[in-house]
Structure 1
Amino acid sequence: MRVNLDVQSLRSFIKVGETKSFTRAAEALSLTQPAISQQIKRLEDLLGVELFARGNRQVLLTLEGEKLFGYAKNIVMCNDKVGRLFEKFEKRETITVGMPEHFCEGMLSQIISRMATHFPTIQMVVKVARSGLLMEAVNEGKIDLCLVIDDFGNTQEPFWHTLSLRWFAGEGAGVSDSPQGVPLVLFKPPCGFRSLAIRSLEECGIKWRCVYESEDLMSLRSAVQAGVGITLLPFVAQVSGLKSLEGISSLPALPQFAVMLKERAGWSPVYRCEVLELIRSVWVSEYVNVSL
């Protein structure tokens, strides 16, 4: 005989057996007496036996009820053990943090490590994208906060630090006076740094040509390291295979940019200040001496 026993019905059966009363069992389980009666009736119909002998004052287990009683306790106990086993896998609170690729090498591992140490119950989700896309995402409520690079002319908010932009070439390359113009390695549009590089050259009457386009930072750096052309990047750290052209070329000077941490409107968990300070402290330890 194969049966599928309902755990809630077994709980009611056990409680009636212990209290010898449908009324007291209902009170103990915060159920109505008709609900208890229906659950017991379903068990009896499923097993094909009577589980209780109903008297005037007490409800007593029948012989079949006594046989079931011990098994029912074991089944409910095993069910509850399984529930407790998976309690720790319940969905945790989540923070979604965004940052540009430029900061991932230095900051991301430290932020993840410190978040795991100081906020072990919070799940961190990271969104890596260009600053413009990250600002759109935080304004649309898709992410909670993001570290971004923005033009001073566009921002009216407090910023953390200023960040230098520089022209970079491969270690063994330079800027030639080719009649075809300066060979540029650029991110694919839309990209603020791409637009700035082109605009800066054109305003100085310097010819240029795009020799390589990339979707990601690693590919862009590889092209520059290979000597294909030059590029414009935030100066956040020395990168093997690249050299700054600051002060050694006739390329136009570049403006300073602001580094800011933007928050989603309405994002105000109790740990907000601690998380912001954690990210700020990682930024200061990693970049402040380079970027100022």
Structure 2
Amino acid sequence: MMLDFRIHTFLTVCEHMSFTKAAHELHLTQPAVSHHMHALQELYGQELFTIVGRQVVLTEAGNRFRTFAQSLQLDVNRFIKEFSQVSEIEVVKFGATLTIGEFTLPPIIRNLMQSNPKRNLTMHVDNTENLLDMIDSGHIDFAFIEGAFDKNSYGYRLFSNERFIAIGSHACKARHPHPTLEELLGERLLIRESGSGTRAVLERILADRGLSVECFCHLDEIGNLNVIKQLVGSDNGISFLYEAAAREALEGNSIVELAIGGWSVMREFNFVFLLDSRYESRYLHFLDECISNMNPI
């Protein structure tokens, strides 16, 4: 372990928020753990913890130091792994939320594989919360995320801005040639399950207008976007999703965009990585490669 042993102790205390549990995991005495923490506070001139009742609580400085120390530890672990495994093959482990992973990245990844066949890519498709946990634990280096996240806790760059649209069948468009959102409440809504990024976006948009998904005459939860698009195309309901996820079906004319009056919604797709990582420049180089290989729309 190349990190100062006191930093390792600090991170273990942060994990458990308990000096006693940290001491047990590290096979130290509790006074030894306390001594390590006192030494760090003396070294940096900052109070890292306070005790509220019997509960250990991080101070603002402690939270900042934890973010830095976690990033440092993961960078050290990565360096040791790379240093001990001399190879010409670059390994990149990353994640993506569903819409980005299934509809935006595939052609980009194809181009990257063709341009650099010696690079090994591993992509995990999951929800935003799980991907952030994977970044925190070092299981992936970065992620392409469509959902909301704490921008103060992670490094990030804008990947793209995407339209969020309503889709329906040709018959639905004939019924509502110039629809308002209120008119479409009379249609059956097909939507992803709770916890999905696409659904969360729609719920926030509706909430801003004093509405909810329950305001539609009927609500069906479908856990697959391709199934949703097929059902929409056969006039079994309407849905809301990112244009990137609907583009192929729109171009194939199996579904149509419902141009809702006053509806102009754009959302960010972000490239997210560990804050203060020493590998930031490498991550951003990969992002630049991805952006340069995006197909023009």
Match of 1:141 in 2: 138
C-alpha deviation, 1:170, in angstroms: 2.0
- The counterpart of 2:220, out of the listed 212, 227, 230, is 212
Q: Any idea what the Cα deviations from partners look like across 1:40-94, whole Å, max 9, x if unmatched?
A: xxxxxxxxxxxxxxxxxxxxxxxxxxxxxxxxxxxxxxxxxxxxxxxxxx99552
Instruction: Name structure 1 gaps, 5 residues minimum.
Output: 1-89
Instruction: Decide which moves more: 161-170 or 235-244.
Output: 235-244
Taking structure 2 as the reference length, what is the TM-score of the superposition? 0.53
Contact 1:168 1:232 in 2 (8 A): yes
SS state of the match for residue 236, structure 2?
A: coil
Contact 1:98 1:134 in 2 (8 A): yes
Match of 2:125 in 1: 128
- Counterpart of 2:91, as a letter, is T
Match of 1:172 in 2: 171
- Counterpart of 2:255, as a letter, is L
Q: Any idea what the Cα deviations from partners look like across 1:159-204, whole Å, max 9, x if unmatched?
A: 2332211111123324778898442111111124323434544634
Match of 1:275 in 2: 286
- The counterpart of 2:266, out of the listed 256, 261, 267, is 256
- The counterpart of 2:230, out of the listed 222, 225, 229, is 222
Distance in 1, Cα, partners of 2:285 & 2:188: 45
Residues 134 and 205 of structure 1: is their aligned pair in 2 closer, same or farther, counting only changes over 3 Å? Answer: closer
Contact 1:211 1:228 in 2 (8 A): no
Distance in 2, Cα, partners of 1:178 & 1:106: 30
- Counterpart of 1:112, as a letter, is I
C-alpha deviation, 1:155, in angstroms: 4.3
Q: Higher relative contact order at CA 8 Å, sep ≥6: structure 1 or structure 2?
A: 2
Taking structure 1 as the reference length, what is the TM-score of the superposition? 0.53
Match of 1:234 in 2: 242
Q: Any idea what the Cα deviations from partners look like across 1:71-125, whole Å, max 9, x if unmatched?
A: xxxxxxxxxxxxxxxxxxx995521222233234554343333333343332111
Match of 2:190 in 1: 185
Residues 270 and 231 of structure 1: is their aligned pair in 2 closer, same or farther, counting only changes over 3 Å? Answer: closer
Instruction: Name structure 2 gaps, 5 residues minimum.
Output: 1-86, 177-181
Say how many residue pairs are matched: 193
C-alpha deviation, 1:147, in angstroms: 1.5
Match of 1:245 in 2: 258
Contact 1:99 1:128 in 2 (8 A): yes
Residues 154 and 164 of structure 1: is their aligned pair in 2 closer, same or farther, counting only changes over 3 Å? Answer: farther
Distance in 2, Cα, partners of 1:132 & 1:254: 27
SS state of the match for residue 171, structure 2?
A: coil
Residues 271 and 221 of structure 1: is their aligned pair in 2 closer, same or farther, counting only changes over 3 Å? Answer: same
Distance in 2, Cα, partners of 1:161 & 1:200: 19
Residues 173 and 267 of structure 1: is their aligned pair in 2 closer, same or farther, counting only changes over 3 Å? Answer: farther
Residues 254 and 179 of structure 1: is their aligned pair in 2 closer, same or farther, counting only changes over 3 Å? Answer: closer
Cα root mean square deviation, aligned: 3.6
Distance in 2, Cα, partners of 1:271 & 1:102: 25
SS state of the match for residue 184, structure 1?
A: strand
Contact 1:186 1:210 in 2 (8 A): no
